[in-house]
Amino acid sequence: MHGPRGPVFEGVDLDVSAGGLLAAHGPAGSGRTSLLLALAGRMRLSGGAVRVGGHVLPAEGRRVRAAVAIARAAPAVALEGRLRVKQVMAERRLTAPGVTDSRIREACEAVGTAPRGTDLVEDLDPVEALLLATALALAERPGALVIDDVDDGLPPEAHSRVWQALDRVRACGPTVLAGCIRTPPPTPGLVALSLPRRSRDRLPARSAVAREDADI
């Protein structure tokens, strides 16, 4: 994918098996969120192709979008923090075909969370917010599930819990496509993709100088 400042990501060549786990890791500006959205059929490629199941992007984007659920890919996709947990659950039942209370309960059990319905989403700790978003996407029973910023704001001791939850998600059936900042812990079947930071490299020299002056 290319933008006005050059490549957002390029040279990506990988194969994630059905029911597998991809961890695209890199710092902010490395293009990992754009890559995940492109794999989900939500961003248009500048070149190359993606096969999701039996469907090929960009030609069959509608079918891919129907097969891939996005749990979180901020700022494009995120739970509304000012809503209560019971409200975002009700919203998902209304907007996602087939999602029911029982499906949401099963998904919450699978990822290991039991949020209180009266809590505001913005008051949840980072782990619970991540697991809630993942459970709501899992309740859609997608073929693949995208979750970005897996380790954003998490203390080191919480990392293993989150990756174990994602491993249980793929055990439920969907392929999991995750984005993170840090290198993920060793996990059986994990496909890890390291993306370098590109934002500053893409800036023309004059723009970079202007930005440094503004920072000062």
What are the boundaries of each domain within the chain? 16-28+68-195
Residue 106's pLDDT is 97
Give the range among 65-69, 121-125, 150-154 with minimum mean pLDDT.
Answer: 150-154
Spatial separation of the C-alpha atoms in residues 7 and 26, rounded to whole Å = 15
Query: At 198, is the pLDDT very low, low, confident or very high (cuts 50, 70, 90)?
Result: low
**Does the pLDDT of residue 59 top 70, yes or no?**
yes
Whether the pLDDT of residue 161 is over 70: the answer is: yes
How crowded is residue 199: how many other Cβ atoms within 10 Å of its Cβ? Answer: 13
pTM for the whole structure: 0.87
Q: Encoding tokens for residue 149?
A: 């910023």
CATH of 16-28+68-195, one of 3.40.50.300, 1.10.3720.10, 3.40.50.10880, 3.40.50.2300: 3.40.50.300
Give the mean pLDDT of the chain.
88
- From CA 12, how far away is CA 134, in angstroms rounded? 25
Residue 57 has pLDDT above 70, yes or no: yes
Helix (H, G, I), strand (E, B) or coil at 62: helix
H-helix or E-strand spanning residue 69: strand 68-72
Q: Is-contact 13 50, C-beta < 8 A?
A: no
Q: Contact at 8 Å (CB) between 50 and 38? A: yes
Q: How far apart are CA 41 and CA 50, in angstroms?
A: 9
pLDDT higher at 44 or 207: 44
**Percent of the chain predicted with pLDDT > 70:** 91
Whether residue 64 contacts residue 57, with contact meaning beta carbons closer than 8 Å, is answered with yes
